[in-house]
Structure 1
Amino acid sequence: MALSIAVALRTLFSVLGCFMLATLVYTISIDGLPFRLELLTPWMAATLVDFYINAGALAAWVFYKESDWIRGMLWMLLLVCFGSITTCAYIALQFLKLSPEESMQDPVYHVLLRRHDKDDKGQNKVSPVVTARVIFGALGFLMLGTLFYTILTDGSPFRKELLTPWMTATLIDFYVNVVALSVWIAYKESSWITACAWIILMICFGSITTCTYIVWQLLQLSSLDPLYLVLLSNGSRQKSCSTTYPTMEIPSYRSY
């Protein structure tokens, strides 16, 4: 079962990456390059803010995964420039790197975590968990404010004239990243009903839901917990904690 999940997800992201690449080439061929001021309508600007907040969440994971910070920065730069094409290529590559044993056990767990996590015992003065809560909380409010402002100044987004070729390509790019985040949510949630509810909210409200979900998951962690635990489901989190922090035997002392 686990092996079939690994193969299915690797195939899914390979197909989505190729589809987004074809969309990009087609849009350039019929509408030219996107670096034109007239394309930056209020709703296009709001969509780009929405896109890059979700991309930021994925970029944070990519940077965590890469032990070499130069390689991590390079992947993040590619993510900014090529969007979900980079997302799909990176995820498919991570699944290809899995050993047969990892593919058979829990492939998503092994893809989410890097091989050698640093032992974080919460000795930092500023907790990374608290910092992440603040950052994603602020990003969620930024997108909420952007949404309300754009509705107030430019009306409803459900208008045919807004659906230009580059807006269509941007939306496809956005929702391919949503697929990646949805796989993570489905992995984390023990109930399919809860997972579907969060995914539907993310489809409807984009990065507002992404930030809300991440902050909610961060609130389940202690401020002293290592930040990477937010990636894991409850069962995998307990397994990781027991591996990172093995139980220590306390010697008993007899009084004489």
Structure 2
Amino acid sequence: MAMSPVTVLRSLFGVLGSLMLLTLVYTIFSDGLPFRSDLLTPWMAATLVDFYINVVPIAAWVFYKESNWISAALWIVLLVCFGSVTTCGYILLQLMKLSTKESEDPIYHVLLCHSNKYGVVDKHKQSPVLIARVVFTALGLFMLGTLLYTLLTDGSPFRKELLTPWMVATLVDFYINVTALSVWVAYKESSWITAVVWIILLICFGSITTCVYILIQLSQLTSQDLIYLALFKGGDRAERRSEGVLI
């Protein structure tokens, strides 16, 4: 008997969260704490920039999902401090909250804020689309500049000496967040071919691809739209509009 989509997602993020937690604990015990100047090589710094730019859209979604500033701020601090462990924990929590009916379309209902399920939009969630376009353009260009600068000043990243225990842990952390973003991309895209292409680009170019993809989604909104509509694929976005949640 095939597993339901919600069961697959719960299993996926449960395994990934456990993997990252074990990786973190193992690396601390085997290589010490990460707060050491010798670890901050040029490519480690570039990887961290890449990692935290990918955290931005996840943090923005958490901010949209949470009903008050305090809980949103707490989750975002945890995202910054514990990375993909928090990402997986938060997604699992949202998946566990789904009703039986909602579990039939789990990604849509996980993305959707609870208040918006009932046609209510909080004032603080009405972030301007134009500002988001500027922010993700700036972040994408910053990452591109960081990548080019590091390539020119420190050479190729494909060198054995760069693969320290903490670099490995950071890459695991990074790609678990990429997996979360890839699930969103797979939901958004209408064909598996385009979804696979975008996911490959995410794996290869990290947050540059994330920023480009988000900018494409934002370009499909008008300046009067609420920014959370970028989360949803075309049919679901039209449904949100038709239900009058923009009033």
Q: TM (normalized to structure 1)? A: 0.91
C-alpha offsets along residues 162-214 of structure 1, whole Å, 9 cap, x if unaligned? 00000000000000000000000000000111111111001000000000000
Change (3 A) 1:3 1:245: farther
Change (3 A) 1:46 1:90: same
- Could you tell me how far apart the structure 2 residues matched to 1:15 and 1:88 are? 9
Change (3 A) 1:132 1:3: farther
Partner of 2:111: 112
Partner of 2:56: 56
C-alpha offsets along residues 131-166 of structure 1, whole Å, 9 cap, x if unaligned? 100000100000000000000000000000000000
- Whether 1:229 aligns to 2:229 is yes
Partner of 1:39: 39
- Could you tell me how far apart the structure 2 residues matched to 1:99 and 1:111 are? 11
- Could you tell me how far apart the structure 1 residues matched to 2:144 and 2:158 are? 18
- Could you tell me how far apart the structure 1 residues matched to 2:209 and 2:245 are? 32
- Whether 1:82 aligns to 2:82 is yes
Change (3 A) 1:131 1:197: same
Partner of 2:67: 67
* Preserved contact between residue 115 and residue 121 of structure 2 (Cα < 8 Å): no
Deviation at 1:101, TM superposition (A): 1.2
Change (3 A) 1:210 1:197: same
* Preserved contact between residue 46 and residue 147 of structure 1 (Cα < 8 Å): yes
Partner of 1:210: 210
SS of 2:224's equivalent in the other structure is coil
- Could you tell me how far apart the structure 2 residues matched to 1:207 and 1:112 are? 20
Partner of 2:13: 13
C-alpha offsets along residues 42-96 of structure 1, whole Å, 9 cap, x if unaligned? 0000000000000111011011100111000000000000000000000011000
C-alpha offsets along residues 218-247 of structure 1, whole Å, 9 cap, x if unaligned? 00111111111000011111111111259x
Change (3 A) 1:120 1:80: closer
- Whether 1:4 aligns to 2:15 is no
Identity of aligned residues (%): 68
Structure 2's unaligned 5+ residue stretches are: none
Specify the code of the residue in structure 2 equivalent to 1:114: C
Aligned length: 242
- Could you tell me how far apart the structure 2 residues matched to 1:232 and 1:209 are? 18
Cα RMSD over matched residues? Answer: 1.9
SS of 2:101's equivalent in the other structure is helix
- Could you tell me how far apart the structure 2 residues matched to 1:120 and 1:90 are? 21
Partner of 1:184: 184
- Whether 1:240 aligns to 2:235 is no
Partner of 1:254: none
- Pairwise mapping of residues 161-176 of structure 1 onto structure 2 (< 5 A)? 161-176=161-176
- Pairwise mapping of residues 132-143 of structure 1 onto structure 2 (< 5 A)? 132-143=132-143
Change (3 A) 1:233 1:206: same
Change (3 A) 1:119 1:79: closer
- Could you tell me how far apart the structure 1 residues matched to 2:132 and 2:32 are? 38
SS of 1:70's equivalent in the other structure is helix
Partner of 2:154: 154
* Preserved contact between residue 64 and residue 114 of structure 1 (Cα < 8 Å): yes
- Could you tell me how far apart the structure 2 residues matched to 1:131 and 1:24 are? 35
